[in-house]
Amino acid sequence: MNFASVRIITDDVDRLVEFYEKVMGVSAERPAPVFAELALPSCTLAIGHSQTTQLFGADSVVGANNRTVIIEFRVDDVEAEYVRLKPFVEHWVKEPTMMPWGNRSMLFRDPDGNLLNLFEPVTEDAIKRFRGRH
């Protein structure tokens, strides 16, 4: 089994695509106006319009309604990412902070309210935990 992607449902695909292109530093592939994919070597973030939810079943997905999932990206320098992203991120939850499990993390929300965590393993144990992962 291979983990393929995480998909966010939204009423404004263009707005979220623009936001995630800035955060992730990659351009989105747009196979259809209602769908986009932002691919990194380690994962793909898909963004679909709420119009597509009818394909999954009535009321199966509700856009801009997530308060349980955190989208996480490991970065080389969380402080540098904070400086880079600060001008356009509107909703900061936590500025760079040391976490008890050895990561330096910062958390913010995308325009639909989804929570993102950009983190850097900094302790020896945390660095070991991520060694060999993409």
**DSSP symbols for 41-92:** SS-EEEEEEGGGGGGT-TTS--TT--SS-EEEEE-S-HHHHHHHHTTT--EE
Instruction: Find, among 74, 67, 75, 61, the residue nearest to 93 by Cα.
Output: 67
86-128 pLDDT, tens per residue? 999 999 999 999 999 999 999 999 999 999 999 999 999 999 9
Q: Which two tokens stand for residue 32?
A: 């259809």
- The whole-model pTM stands at 0.93
45-75 pLDDT, tens per residue? 999 999 998 888 877 888 888 889 999 999 9
